Amino acid sequence: WPIEFVDRVDHPAKGRIDWIDGKTVAFHRDGRLVHNFKTSRWDLAERKAAMDAEGFDVQVLIPDNRPFLYELGDALGNAMARAFNDYAAEAVKGDGRFIPVAWLYLPDMRAAVKEMRRCVEELGIRAVKLTGGYRDCDLDEEPMWPLYEVAEHYGIPILVHPAARAFEDQT
């Protein structure tokens, strides 16, 4: 995930980015270090050079788990999802070498379904990543069904990459 998307989040608890050096940033939220990230994780020029060197034609850009956990609260979670999805769509627009993957904030299922529709219809993002279940809801439970119905309607693949629950030490 690109650090610049955090600047687009309109929420006081969005966290902050501190540059450690020219190639590493630290992401903090609630006064705690969430994780250090290398810029090569989102710098598309660096990724293209690595892809060329390794012989890859296309790369799927999957959101990192750490800033996108489901214990953020609805307002912050939805703001993070919208900002990330907007940034991802803009960053790869017109560049067929990258396939963006949306992120949704599941605890607010009505907003998650709306955001998935927006990602497909307005942003052109045709895949979504879930970081496992949320609260006491597992991925096979009925509260998830509206999301799956939208994914099926649009033929959207769903990537599931479980994340550690929030607030554990992820340094």
> Is the Cβ–Cβ distance between 154 and 126 less than 8 Å?
yes
Helix axes 74-92, 109-118, angle to 10 degrees: 10
Helices (H), the chain: 4-7, 44-54, 74-92, 109-118, 145-154
Residue position matching structure tokens 């012989």 = 55
Query: What DSSP state is assigned to residue 82?
Result: H
The whole-model pTM stands at 0.84
pLDDT in tens, 13-70: 888 888 888 888 888 888 888 888 888 777 889 889 999 999 999 999 888 766 566 7
Q: State both tokens at 27.
A: 């992401």
pLDDT in tens, 142-158: 999 999 999 999 999 99
pLDDT in tens, 61-81: 888 766 566 777 899 889 989
Among 101, 102, 100, 80, smallest CA distance to 91 is for 100
- How much of the chain exceeds pLDDT 70, in percent? 90
Q: State both tokens at 148.
A: 């799956």
Q: What is the pLDDT of residue 123?
A: 97
Q: How far is CA 19 from CA 22, 26, 42, 47, 79, in A?
A: 7, 6, 15, 20, 23
Q: What is the pLDDT of residue 164?
A: 55
Q: What is the pLDDT of residue 82?
A: 93
